[in-house]
Amino acid sequence: MRALNLRTKTVSLGGHRPLKVQLARQGWVFSAPAFFIIAGITIFPILFSVFMSLSHISLTYSGFKFQWAGMSNYSLVWSNSLFQYALGFTIIYTLVTVTVELILGMGVALVLHKLTSGRGFLLAVLLLPWALITAISAEMWSFIYNGVYGVLNAIVMGLGLAGHPVIWLGTPMLAIASTMVADIWKTTPFVAIILFAGLQMISSEVFEAASIDGAGAWQAFWRITLPLLKPTLLVALLFRTLQAFGVFDLPFVLTGGGPGHATESLAILSYQVLFEDLSFGPGAAIATSTTLIVMAVAFVFLRVFRVQVGDSESST
Amino acid sequence: MRIRNAMVLVSGSLLLTATASGFSPGGLVRSAAVQKKVVTIVWYASPITDTGVRKTMIQAFEKAHPKIRIKLNTAPTNTDTMRSTLTTAISGGATSPDVFMGDVIWPAQFGHNDLALPLSKYLPKSFWTRFAPGLVKGASYRGAVYGAPFFMDAGFLYYRKDLLAKAHLPVPRTWPQLVKESKLLQKRKLVKFGYVWQGADYEGLTCDWMEVMSDAGGSVFNKNYSKVTINSPQSLRALKFLRSLITSHVSPAAETTFQEPQAMNVFDAGNAAFLRNWDYAWSNSNDPKDSKVVGKVGVAPLPTFPGQKQPGYSTIGGWDVYVNPHSKYLAQDLTFIKWITGGQAQTILATKFSEIPTNYSVQKNPAVQRLNPVLKTVHNVHLISRPSGSPVYPSVSQAMYSNLNSALAGTVSPAQALKAAERQIHAAVSKKGL
């Protein structure tokens, strides 16, 4: 953000070239440490992981032995039915959870926005699921879903909706749905709070003008709130999609990827292949494929929404 | 962020990889020179029973060997997580931990990938005779022994003495008899469920499966691992039997999500007549803190199918002690291993912590047996190993438990599940899998 502002300033100063160069140099100096740290902890390992995905790797007493493998790991992975299923599962999981979270989150944000009292308390309560460590909330959900003692079965049977206990995590369809519900419970607050912040930034004058012009609440929402909220929505959408696509902890704790392979996401599969089967090449190929897919999705979102996130303030 | 986490996980191992390439196991030679000084070695071990086994062991060892100090590093209780941690560290060339506790199913994978030292190269033949029969073979891969058996475990049938007495029933010796008695007890409203076991989608199901499948005369591979034999009429009979336990409500419908703790909870709450579990279930079900059935529990070998040799099969579990091939203190590591598998340590293990010792003379000692009732049963059980002689055993086991679990849940037929398991095991051993 700051870098952007600096740049627009220098542009407006036009002819003063030395100042511009000086600022640019300062900018580089100040950002260099951060750049090297990021390079060290993300860029280098990512490149190395790409290299691994292109190698046959064997373990020996004197360390790893690499042998060029070309694309063979990728063809092995992409033609494997477990990978294909995990890819399909991850895509559907992402689509469903992110859509539901955006709709619910929007509703919650609108309510929060209209509230005049108790907002602070509600915000704190809302943040609770999001603030809980996923491994812990997943354990809690596994108690809720427990087929023998689970509270959900007590409720369902108490209401007479089922005559016998439902095994929520025992069959594929139910396990997938149950995992999605737990995810939606946990991350809807995150979406709600981002959208709430976005709503706070929209000037109330716009709505006053609209109501003077005779716009109803529904019209105002579609014509004013939603378009002005677009940059915020994109942020929420991007974050959630990236997270959902890499989902690991929730199904790992809740179902271990089961029953069968029903809730096995790409991240769980790559963990199993890398660290349990010690197939480093194919495991890296899964991880790299996942990264590329996510990058492509993010790129598409940015293009479709045609929003320059950094300039959002100036457009309002 | 989560995808980033996965990447960091990957990249963590990558960074270690980078440092590993220049590493050689030259440290082994140096160990003789430093023997005079006090040396500290690192032992990586999970909490075992959570009752202080490791600390007691270390204190006794340091007393016997004052020149060696042991630093304890606690490992996660989940065997797969523990393995991931170890493979990441050792494949990266880490010299610590020096010795580590490891599952009995690891020797092939660790041996194949040079993640453990072949101990048989460094310890004389006479050393290995101290262990109970079959254990050394289980710790071997391609002629070398990689782990020293530390304590062993096996599947047992736990039953409610009081309920059987009330209904005048004997301890079941066959599976149909167990079903019949369960139904009777359930019908008389003496207990909610008949039999609880491990049916979830994880390694434990493979253990339970090995028992019932072997009872029916089935196998996963032929003798020299050259052919996958799991898809057989014998296996089908075993799987249909397990599924029938659930459909007939002898086992709860939630059985397909039960690991050891869930099955244990149902039994300890007094809601099941029979339980299949490991050796620790004895002390667990007799602990008034967790259990409502204290003093009402009996233990016996598992049942089998009618007409088969008595008793039924029990899957071998337990833990070995391995040495990191990059350890700088081999002499001290071996001293520790000799001590921990010796008479003093194994007696402590058996009498104070009710584990099954691997040391044969301790196991047979009547004084020890008096203090550990499970030990009397262990000599009567019929042991079966998981097919962990293959370095791709984790994939083989996964192919079994994930498909079997689907059949237990009723989403595929038993025949379909066995066919799928056969196909996936074949892919795993012929390296066509991931």
A137 and A192: one domain?
yes
Share of chain B above pLDDT 70, in %: 90
| Same domain? B293 vs B197 | yes
Q: Which of B418, B252, B406, B395 is nearest to A259 (CA)?
A: B406
| Mean pLDDT score, B54-65 | 93
Residue type for B15, please?
L
Domain identity same for B363 and B269: no
Whole-Å CA distances, B66 to B38, B286, B349: 8, 37, 21
E-state strands within A111-226: none
Nearest alpha-carbon partner for A134 in A185, A173, A195, A196: A185
- Dump pLDDT digits (tens) for A179-222: 999 999 999 999 999 999 999 888 888 888 888 888 888 888 88
- The answer to whether residue B6 is domain-embedded is no
Q: Does the residue A67 lie in any domain?
A: no
Which residues span the domain enclosing B216? Answer: 154-315+387-429
Residues A168 and A222 in one domain: yes
Is residue A11 in some structural domain? yes
Q: Domain holding A237: CATH number?
A: 1.10.3720.10
Distance, CA of B248 to CA of B237 (rounded, Å): 16
pLDDT band at A307 (very low <50, low <70, confident <90, very high): low
Chain A interface includes B403 (CB < 8 A): yes
Q: Are A269 and A82 a contacting pair, CB within 8 Å?
A: yes
Please state whether the peptide bond connecting residue A259 to the residue before it is cis, i.e. omega within 30 degrees of 0. Answer: yes
CA distances from B318 to B78, B97, B114 (A): 13, 20, 21
Angle (nearest 5°) at CA B32 between B31 and B35? 90
* Complex-level ipTM: 0.71
Residue B247 and residue B302 in one domain: yes
| Bridge pairing between strands B297-300 and B68-74 | unpaired
**Residue at B272 is within a domain:** yes
- For helices A172-201 and A134-145, the axis angle rounded to 10 degrees is 130
Contacts of B372 (CB under 8 A, 6+ apart): B350, B351, B354, B356
Q: Are residues A126 and A219 in the same domain?
A: yes
Cβ-proximal residues to A312 (8 Å cutoff; 6+ apart), any chain: A231
CB B136 within 8 A of CB B149: yes
Residue A167 sits in which domain range?
Answer: 75-315
pLDDT of residue B380: 81
- Looking at the structure, tell me whether residues A205 and A263 fall in a common domain: yes
For residue B244, the model assigns a pLDDT of 97
- In sequence order, the β-bridge partners of residue B156 are B277
Does the structure show a pLDDT above 80 at B11?
no
- Position A256 scores a pLDDT of 84
pLDDT of B416 reads 95
Note whether A175 and A259 are within 8 A (CB). Answer: yes
Average pLDDT over residues B393-401: 91
A163 or B9: which carries more pLDDT confidence? Answer: A163
Q: What is the CA radius of gyration of chain A?
A: 24
Is the residue at A113 inside a domain? yes
Task: Looking at the structure, tell me whether residues B324 and B393 fall in a common domain.
Answer: no
- Find the DSSP H helices in B254-372: 260-268, 281-285, 330-340, 343-353, 360-364, 366-371
User: What is the pLDDT, as a whole number, of residue B261?
Assistant: 86
Q: What angle do CA A273, B408, A95 make, to 5 degrees?
A: 55
On whether both A149 and A291 belong to a single domain, the answer is yes
The enclosing H or E element of B315 equals strand B313-323
- Structurally, chain B folds into a number of domains equal to 2
At residue B290, the pLDDT reads 81
* CA dist list (Å): A5 to A29, A315, B249, B364: 17, 14, 69, 80
Q: Does residue B213 fall inside a structural domain? A: yes
Over residues B54-69, mean pLDDT: 93
Average pLDDT over residues A216-230: 85
Tell me the pLDDT tens digit for each residue of A236-247.
999 999 999 999
Q: In this predicted structure, what is the pLDDT of residue A316?
A: 39
Q: At B287, list the tokens.
A: 């602990």
Confidence category of residue A17, pLDDT binned at 50, 70, 90: low
- Asked whether residue B9 is assigned to any structural domain, the reply reads no
What residues 67-126 of chain B have any CB closer than 8 A to a CB of chain A? Answer: 80, 83-84, 87-88, 91-93, 109, 113-115
Q: Are residues B203 and B191 in the same domain?
A: yes
Scan residues 21-40 of B and list those with Cβ closer than 8 Å to A: 21-25
Express as a percent the part of chain A with pLDDT over 90.
47
CA distance B18 to B53: 37
- What's the pLDDT score for residue B25? 44
| Nearest residue, CB atoms, B2 vs list A61, A257, A267 | A267
Q: Which of A169-178, B5-14, B164-173 has the lowest mean pLDDT?
A: B5-14
d(CA A12, nearest CA chain B) in Å: 37
Give the number of domains in chain A. 2
- Residue B247 maps to which CATH number? 3.40.190.10
A261 domain residue, yes or no: yes
Q: Which positions in chain B touch A278 (Cβ < 8 Å)?
A: 87, 91, 109, 113
What is the maximum alpha-carbon separation in chain A? 80
Instruction: Evaluate whether residue A59 is within a structural domain.
Output: no
Asked whether the predicted pLDDT for residue B24 surpasses 60, the reply is no
Over range B344-360, report the average pLDDT.
89
How does DSSP classify residue B253?
G
Flag the least confident range among A1-10, A169-178, B157-166, B417-426: A1-10
Q: Is B333 on the interface with A (CB under 8 A)?
A: no
pLDDT in tens, B147-202: 999 998 899 999 999 999 999 999 999 999 999 999 999 999 999 999 999 999 88
* Residue B385 clears pLDDT 80, i.e. is over it: yes
Q: Is the pLDDT of residue A248 over 50?
A: yes
Average pLDDT, chain B: 87
Q: CA A113 from chain center: how many Å?
A: 24
Q: What is the pLDDT of residue B388?
A: 86
Q: Evaluate whether B116 touches B325 at the Cβ level (below 8 Å).
A: yes
Assess whether pLDDT exceeds 70 at residue B28: no
Q: What is the pLDDT of residues B292-301, one digit of tens each?
A: 999 999 999 9
What are A302's two structure tokens? 């940015």
Same domain, A180 and A216: yes
Tell me, yes or no, if A76 comes closer than 8 A to chain B by beta carbon. yes
Contact predicate B273/B195, CB 8 Å: yes
Strand stretches in chain A, DSSP E: 55-60, 63-68
Q: What's chain A's average pLDDT?
A: 86
**Among A186, A197, A204, A179, CA closest to A236:** A197
Tokens (6 digits) for B14: 């990558």
**Chain A closest-CA separation from residue B353 CA (Å):** 29
Rounded Cα distance, A250 and A117, in Å: 34
Residues A121 and A158 in one domain: yes
Same domain, yes or no: A89 and A42: no
Chain segment A1-15, per-residue pLDDT in tens: 444 444 444 444 445
With respect to residue A15, please indicate whether it lies within any of the assigned structural domains. yes
Decide: B257 and A147 in contact? Cβ < 8 Å.
yes
Q: Is residue A149 part of a domain?
A: yes
pLDDT given at position B313: 95
Do residue A94 and residue A45 come from a single domain? no
